[in-house]
Amino acid sequence: MTRPKISKETVDEIWKRFEEGASLRQVEEEFRVGRWTSKQIREGTHPHQQTGDLKRCKTCGGMVVMPCMVCSSQELRRLYGQKP
Ligand SMILES: [Zn+2]
């Protein structure tokens, strides 16, 4: 029994369906996913739903997913000496 891997887009779609009030069974039939997958998505624990932990960036002080994109783009700008 092989279970197809689902894309992040599908996970998002399924999550939306749950928000609209769909049941596990409806989602399983509609998206052809397993019980475990649909449950994970409903509980928000599917790997595709983990966007990374927000951390306090020491450089800019923002709550960001590390590495901080804000600071790394500023760092690049500094390294290459281009003013925006
Ligand atoms: Zn930063």
Helix ranges, the chain (H): 8-19, 24-31, 35-43, 69-80
For ligand 1, the distance from its centroid to the CA atom of residue 47, given in whole angstroms, is 25
As given in the structure block, the two tokens for residue 16 are 């939306």
For ligand 1, the distance from its centroid to the CA atom of residue 62, given in whole angstroms, is 6
Cβ of 68: how many Cβ atoms within 10 Å? Answer: 20
Domain boundaries, the chain: 8-49, 52-84
Give the pLDDT confidence score for residue 50 in this predicted structure. 77
Give the pLDDT confidence score for residue 2 in this predicted structure. 52
**pLDDT by 10s per residue, the chain, length 84:** 455 588 989 999 999 999 999 999 999 999 999 999 999 999 988 888 877 677 888 888 887 877 888 888 888 888 887 665
Give the pLDDT confidence score for residue 82 in this predicted structure. 64
Between CA 80 and CA 84 the distance in angstroms is: 11
For ligand 1, the distance from its centroid to the CA atom of residue 52, given in whole angstroms, is 15
- As residues whose CB is below 5 A from the ion ligand 1, the structure lists 57, 59-60, 68, 70-71
